[in-house]
Amino acid sequence: MATALIEALNLEVHYGGIAAVKGISFAVEAGELVCLIGANGAGKTSTLKALARMIPSAGEIRYRDTRLDRLPSHALIRQGLALVPEGRGIFARLTVAENLAMGAYHRDDRREIGLDLARIYAMLPRLKERAAQVAGTLSGGEQQMLAIGRALMGRPQLLLLDEPSMGLAPLMVEKIFEVIRTVAAQGVTILLVEQNARLALQTCARGYVMESGRITLADSAASLLADPRVRAAYLGE
């Protein structure tokens, strides 16, 4: 783990008196596609929110040589970290094009932004068709595409994805995961939080299993898929 891009040490998240994340440690190396699976309420979303500094947390978060836990949320994208939040978090009253422009808000290289936009439109043609449309009128799947496209407009090195399959039809879920694999193949490091454990483990190289605020298993995705405990608890076998 010498080349960890992001590393959490004894990360804790509390809501009032309730501990949602109870001192977990994990790392993601540059170029990896890692998933964090677990049941509803295991603390997955809280973990991602803590990494993105959207909620206060205790413990260290190291990103390259930077202590993320000392930075405000709005400083992270400049460090190369983007989060696609749970529920997608698109700006419903802004147009699709404006949402994408917001993704590049912190950048000044207008020419490169234009190229990235063209690339994202090529990868997600539905967004181009609906560029002038108010984002709130998109379907759930299109909104998820938009949320991912918007995050990519920030040219992140690390992409945190929170439940991208949530509430989507199976066909759309497949499309979204295809996009995730494409993005990963382009060299973006991804930490994926998913309730759909099977799909997540089939997509990722490595995975962590979270249970009531703790990481209980950490292994290669293939081993986790074969692990009887995972099969029983998350794959419904």
| Cβ distance to other proteins smaller for residue 139 or 202 | 139
Give the interface size with other proteins as a residue count (CB under 8 A).
Answer: 34
The interface with other proteins within residues 90-129 (CB under 8 A) comprises: 90-94, 98, 101-103, 105-106
What are φ and ψ of residue 149, in 5° steps?
Answer: -60, -40
Contact between 136 and other proteins by CB under 8 A: the answer reads yes
| Cβ distance to other proteins smaller for residue 54 or 235 | 54
Q: Side by side, which strands form the sheet with 214-220?
A: 81-84, 158-162, 189-194, 33-38, 206-211, 214-220
Coil, strand or helix at 203: helix
C-alpha pair distances (Å), 22 with each of 25, 29, 69? 10, 23, 16
Site string for other proteins, 4-43 (x = CB under 8 A): ----------------------------------------
Integer Cα distance of 92 and 82 in angstroms: 19
The interface with other proteins within residues 58-87 (CB under 8 A) comprises: 72-78, 82-83, 85
The amino acid that residue 229 corresponds to is R
Binding footprint of other proteins on the chain (CB under 8 A): 52, 54, 72-78, 82-83, 85, 89-94, 98, 101-103, 105-106, 134, 136-140, 143, 150, 154, 167
